Each structure stands twice: as C-alpha cells, then as structure tokens.
C-alpha cells in the first residue's frame, strides 16, 4: 500500500527513494491523490537532503511520463531532434536565432519554451509580440511544422509533464524553488517529453542569473548533464555570462526585432552572436551534424550568410499564424513604444558594473515583464542600446534608451537604470562569454 507520508519520512531522514516510490508519488501529484501539503513536505525534504543521481533521473522520467510524450520516429525525419534550454536572463533572445540556424544545418527543433517571470524575459513572450503567432498549435500541427520547416518554437501545453506544473506551483509558495535536484527534474521533465535526441543547456552566471553564485550555476549544469544523460538524452551544458544584458535590447518587440535583423545579416551584437554560435556549435557536435567545432562554425556561418536561417524563421512564423512578410517588413508588425528616451551618464568614466537583474526589473516596471503569472504585458516597451561593461562614457553618452508607454513609467525606469549601472575611473577586467563547457566524460557513470 502506497502512503505518501512514508515517502516523505524516508527522504526527510536522508534515505534513498526507490523508483517505485518516486513514480507512485508523482502519480499522486498528477491525479490529486497526494495533497498539496504532502508535495510541500517532500519538496522541503529534498531541499535539505538532496537526491542521489539515480533518484533524480527517476524523478525526471516519472514527471515526463505523467503526460503525453512527443514521438518523432514515425515521421522518419532525415536528421536528429535537438533543443536547448536557458536558465534565462536579460536580453537572452538566443532561441529565436538558434532554432532556425540548427534547422538550416539539418537538425529538427521542437522547442518548448516558457513565458518570463520576474527579471527574466521569456521566449514565448518575444514570439507573442508577433501578431497572429500561435504558440499553442495542435499536436498534429506541431509535427507538421517541425517536419516541413525544421523548427517550431511553442509553449508548454497542459498535457506535457503535468506533474511538474503542480509540483512547481507548490515549490513556488514554499521557498523550495532553489533545490538543484528539483530544478533539474523540472527542466528535464519537459525536455524529455519533447522526445529529444540531444539537449544543450545554457546555464547563466552573473548578476542577472537565476543561480546566485558561480558555484551553484556549475552544480546545476553538472547535475542536468548527468541526469539528462542518465535519462537517455545526450546532454551538454555551457556556463555563460549574464553579468550584463546579452543582447542590445531587452523587451519583447525590441528583442524580436533584434533577432530578425540578426538573421537578415543587418546587425549582430558581438556577445549575442558569440553565445549563439557557441550553443549551436555544441548542438551540432553532440548530434553528429558537424565533425568538430571548426566544421560547426563554418556550417552555421553559411546558414546565416546564405539567408537560409532567415528564410526558415519566416516560414516558421507564417506556419504558426504570424505574418508572411515579417522578415521583409518587421517594423510594420512589431509595435514600437510611443516614448523613447535616452538616459545619459551623470559623469564620465568606465562602465564598471551592472545589476542586470535590476535592469530586468526596470523592464518589468515599464510593463514588459511579469511580477506574477497572470500579468498582461505591453510588448512595445523595454530598453535598448546598452553601454557595455568596460565602455568609456562621456557625460553626453547614453547609458541606454528607454522605450515606454508614457512619461511616468519612463521616469521610474530611468531611476532604476541609474541605480543599476555603475561608472568608475578604471575599466573592469573583461569577463569570458563562456566560462565552462560540461560534457559527460567517458568515465562518468550514466546514473
């Protein structure tokens, strides 16, 4: 007889849960036979006691199996199924370029993305800024778009990993979100349900990262790599910098427009380009679509320079209900804010530090982000033209530009921006864009 309290007691006391116990508990989360209080108790026990790798693999797979799992084998796709996931940040618009770039190189990308919350922008919100774009197609339509276009960036539907949705909602109100074991199971349950061959994780580090320290970012990346591989998906991770916004913009329409211009070859923020290429290269290497990093880089640059990636993004948007001419006339479809204001440095100096999280919260204050899941967004608003760390500014040099719905919200954003960006007489030491790449070694056990 299954008793949830016995599973809780066992984990509370630091013992290892069996596969059967984990699966029974997850089944109870799914069918509501396990109470919210019991979910909260297990989450707190895991928060303090952690999980063995084998437990973590089993939890991720049990939550994957709590709903529908996508299958691609019957479509006989002529290439591997790949995806990447980011822990998020400010100006992290990588997915909008990465998906079509990978598709242009022979991969198939069913990317299940989320909406933003707090200071982190969500891929789904950026695409929702495109009029008509439907991020929740039917399963049949999703399969058709992936097969015919090569990429479909959509939202998580209610039948994919439903146990995770209830588990996360409970963790969110019981101060147990930060458990590395539970973060790992939450992320991987959804990615495993997408039927992937390869997953590459982008784990952020720095002032705009979800994980507060570099050590915790590394620990999360390592755990995801080991659990993902243990669950049967070739998984790798990059630790990348989020000590300043990744793109030149932050805000939904602004970032989507930046992605379109990047794909059209008009403008490429060097940091954004480098991180996008690093993640794409790792995906091509892990999937066998490239023989080495040099080959991967050449294939990706060719996909960009030839216009193939831009064409694929336009086809995806059109196939999912968006305008057919987005790539030709993006400004016509991506709404602009009525108030655009430059924020100037109050004195000369070098940009020495940024509170990137605070810059993300400035976007929220403008109406471009959520404080709670039910908030409605103003897709027009945001920030652009960030002065990068190490840049030397004069008093007449803009720190950035605010895009606002009205003067009052621009005033509030300006106050937040000035508090978030520090200037100093000397430039800070340059930070790497990619701190570390984590792959499962030959000696590493799969579980």
Catalytic residue among 11, 64, 83, 125: 83
Catalytic residue among 23, 190, 223, 380: 190
**405 burial via Cβ count (<10 Å: 0-12, 13-18, 19+):** middle
The residue whose two tokens read 């290892």 is 16
Cβ-contact 160, 186 below 8 angstroms: no
Is 186 among the residues known to form the active site?
A: yes
H or E stretch at 300: helix 293-305
Cβ-contact 338, 405 below 8 angstroms: yes
For residue 199, how many other CB atoms are within 10 A of its CB? 27
Catalytic residue among 30, 54, 66, 86: 86
Is 243 among the residues known to form the active site?
A: no
Catalytic residue among 11, 119, 191, 234: 191
The three-state secondary structure class of 203 is strand
Is 190 among the residues known to form the active site?
A: yes
Catalytic residue among 64, 84, 236, 299: 84
Residue 257 vs residues 27, 40, 326: alpha-carbon distances, Å = 43, 41, 10
Is 86 among the residues known to form the active site?
A: yes
The three-state secondary structure class of 397 is coil
Q: How far apart are CA 353 and CA 357, in angstroms?
A: 12
Is 123 among the residues known to form the active site?
A: yes
* Sheet arrangement for strand 382-384: 249-250, 382-384, 398-404, 339-344
Is 84 among the residues known to form the active site?
A: yes
Q: How far apart are CA 184 and CA 202, in angstroms?
A: 13
Is 158 among the residues known to form the active site?
A: no
Catalytic residue among 23, 64, 85, 308: 85
Q: How far apart are CA 64 and CA 194, in angstroms?
A: 9
Is 171 among the residues known to form the active site?
A: yes
Q: Which residues, in sequence order, are CB contacts of 410 under 8 Å at separation 6+? A: 339, 341, 366, 402, 404
Q: What one-character DSSP code corresponds to residue 372?
A: S
Catalytic residue among 113, 179, 186, 256: 186
Residues with a known catalytic role: 83-86, 123, 171, 186, 190-191
């Amino acid at each position: 007889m299954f008793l949830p309290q016995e599973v809780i007691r066992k984990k509370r006391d630091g013992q290892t849960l069996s596969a059967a116990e984990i699966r029974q508990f997850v089944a109870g989360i799914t069918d509501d036979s396990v109470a919210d209080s019991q979910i909260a108790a297990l989450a707190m026990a895991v928060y303090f006691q952690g999980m063995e790798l084998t437990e973590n693999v089993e939890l991720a797979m049990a939550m994957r199996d709590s709903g529908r799992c996508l299958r691609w084998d019957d479509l006989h796709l002529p290439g591997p199924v790949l995806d990447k996931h980011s822990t998020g940040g400010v100006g992290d618009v990588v997915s909008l370029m990465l998906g079509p770039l990978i598709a242009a190189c022979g991969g198939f990308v069913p990317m299940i993305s989320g909406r933003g919350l707090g200071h982190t922008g969500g891929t789904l919100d950026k695409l929702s800024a495109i009029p008509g774009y439907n991020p929740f197609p039917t399963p049949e339509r999703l399969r058709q778009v992936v097969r015919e276009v090569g990429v479909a960036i959509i939202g998580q539907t209610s039948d994919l990993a439903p146990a995770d949705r209830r588990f996360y909602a409970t963790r969110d109100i019981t101060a147990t979100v930060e458990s590395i074991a539970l973060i790992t199971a939450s992320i991987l349950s959804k990615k495993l349900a997408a039927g992937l061959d390869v997953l590459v994780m982008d784990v952020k580090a720095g002032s705009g990262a979800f994980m507060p320290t570099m050590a915790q970012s590394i620990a999360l990346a390592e755990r995801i790599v080991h659990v993902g591989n243990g669950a049967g998906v070739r998984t790798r991770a990059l630790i990348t910098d989020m000590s300043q916004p990744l793109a030149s913009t932050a805000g939904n329409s602004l970032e989507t427009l930046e992605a379109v211009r990047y794909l059209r070859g008009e403008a490429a923020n060097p940091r954004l380009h480098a991180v996008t290429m690093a993640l794409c290269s790792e995906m091509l290497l892990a999937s066998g679509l490239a023989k080495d990093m040099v080959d991967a880089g050449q294939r990706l640059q060719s996909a960009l320079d030839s216009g193939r990636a831009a064409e694929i993004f336009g086809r995806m948007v059109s196939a999912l209900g968006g305008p057919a001419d987005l790539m030709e006339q993006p400004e016509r479809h991506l709404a602009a804010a009525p108030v655009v204001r430059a924020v100037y440095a109050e004195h000369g100096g070098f940009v020495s530090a940024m509170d990137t999280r605070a810059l993300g919260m400035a976007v929220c204050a403008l109406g471009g982000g959520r404080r709670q899941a039910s908030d409605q967004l103003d897709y027009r608003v945001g920030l652009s033209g960030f002065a990068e760390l190490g840049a030397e500014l004069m008093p007449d040099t803009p720190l950035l530009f605010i895009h606002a719905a009205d003067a009052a919200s621009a005033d509030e954003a300006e106050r937040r921006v000035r508090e978030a960006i520090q200037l100093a007489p000397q430039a800070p030491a340059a930070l790497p864009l990619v701190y570390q790449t984590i792959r499962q070694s030959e000696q590493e056990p799969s579980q």
